[in-house]
Amino acid sequence: MTIGFHEQKEKSLLRLSFYTAGFFVLLAFGFAFVTHSDAILFDGVYSLIAFFMALITLKVANLVQMPDDDRFHFGYTAIEPTLNLFKSLIIIATCLYAVVGSVSALFSGGNAAQYNLAMIYGVFATVGCFAISFYMTHRSKSLRSDLVSVDAHTWFVDGVLSASILLGFVIAFSLESLGFAQFAPYVDPVLLIVLGLSMLPIPLKIMLESLNEVIHKAPPESVTKVIEKRLKQSLDAVPYEHVEVRISKSGRDIYLLVHIIVDKSFGKVTVAELDAIRKHSETTMREWNPSILMDILFICDPKLAD
């Protein structure tokens, strides 16, 4: 598969997310107006956020494919985790706003809704959101795209939200049918409180992962150990005392700054021979993981690797 194919596939999935989010915004707001349900309104606001985020994501997908230039010496990939960080913060703020509003509604007598119509929305939205999430996840397995991955997670969260809303509507409709109509108005705000709080772990996880990339924190030790092992295997023909590796992940790129502390048997070599070692190591590493970018320095003094 060529790089161009991957770019085209990524943008195709992001466009699908964008247009589908726009459709669900109209659908949710329409049903919220007819049924008077705050839960559906919240789902519509979430879809509206997803719609605008998908639009921005499409723009960012074009930027991160561009090479480095005079303004961005290390390319545009750092925009990717920055956007994902922003998206997670927006989702967190939306969840907290819904919880606060629902607590207020709960103490003011709840919120009555047209539960029969609301259940129709719940079924359609649940099936649609999960279908988009699973489709994007399946189609993006061969892509190195955090943008698509986060979008798939966003749709999964929306699917959980819609499924929970559907369950709440079924409960409220059952209460009305069984003669407990006085309790039905409390289902909507209670449901939103539960949803808002239960959804928080997913955007919080995305926020922390994206923040680590923005501040160039090293990946987890389980990841760095595998990278270091592969790197040393690619340098098996080089006599060295120690290899010091600094690793950072920014969007779809993993950057390695490698200091090779050579031993005395290394001897004198030409610049061309050093270049050949670099090329062999980088080619080997990129065959294993195409997202890796490397700079290799050969030194004698260990202090220069600090």
pLDDT band for position 267 (cuts 50, 70, 90): confident
* Residue 294 Rama label (left phi>0; alpha psi -120 to 50; beta): beta
Mean pLDDT of 276-292: 87
Q: Are residues 291 and 159 in the same domain?
A: no
Query: Of the residues 214, 230, 257, which one is the last residue of a structural domain?
Result: 214
**For residue 127, pLDDT beyond 90:** yes
Highest-confidence segment of 16-20, 39-43, 126-130: 126-130
In the three-class reduction of DSSP (H, G, I as helix; E, B as strand; rest coil), residue 14 is classed as helix
Counted domains in the chain = 2
> What is the CATH classification number for the domain harbouring 133?
1.20.1510.10
Q: Are residues 163 and 242 in the same domain?
A: no
Mean pLDDT of 3-25: 77
pLDDT in tens, 171-202: 888 887 888 878 877 877 787 788 778 878 88
pLDDT in tens, 213-260: 777 777 777 788 888 888 888 888 888 888 888 888 777 678 888 998
Query: Of the residues 151, 179, 214, which one is the last residue of a structural domain?
Result: 214
* Structure tokens that stand for 148 in this block: 């698509």
State the Cα–Cα distance between residues 31 and 37, nearest whole angstrom: 8
Q: Are residues 115 and 264 in the same domain?
A: no
Per-residue confidence (pLDDT) for residue 81, from 0 to 100:
80
Q: Are residues 127 and 108 in the same domain?
A: yes
Q: Are residues 11 and 29 in the same domain?
A: yes
Length of the chain: 306
What range does the domain containing 246 cover? 221-305
Report the percent of the chain where pLDDT is more than 70.
88
Report the percent of the chain where pLDDT is more than 90.
2
Mean pLDDT score of the chain = 80
Q: Residue 32: exposed, middle, or buried by beta-carbon count in 10 A (0-12, 13-18, 19+)? A: buried
Q: Are residues 165 and 232 in the same domain?
A: no
Mean pLDDT of 163-175: 82
Per-residue confidence (pLDDT) for residue 266, from 0 to 100:
79
pLDDT band for position 85 (cuts 50, 70, 90): confident
Q: Are residues 12 and 27 in the same domain?
A: yes
Q: How many alpha carbons fall within 13 Å on the CB side of residue 269?
A: 16
Q: Are residues 27 and 156 in the same domain?
A: yes
Residue of higher predicted confidence among 72 and 81: 81
Q: Are residues 225 and 207 in the same domain?
A: no
Per-residue confidence (pLDDT) for residue 112, from 0 to 100:
63
Q: Are residues 227 and 201 in the same domain?
A: no
Per-residue confidence (pLDDT) for residue 131, from 0 to 100:
92
Q: Are residues 182 and 242 in the same domain?
A: no
Query: Of the residues 190, 214, 238, which one is the last residue of a structural domain?
Result: 214
Radius of gyration of the CA atoms of the chain, in A: 25
Q: Are residues 67 and 194 in the same domain?
A: yes
pLDDT band for position 111 (cuts 50, 70, 90): low
> Which sign, positive or negative, has the C-alpha torsion 57, 206, 251, 16?
negative
> What is the CATH classification number for the domain harbouring 241?
3.30.70.1350
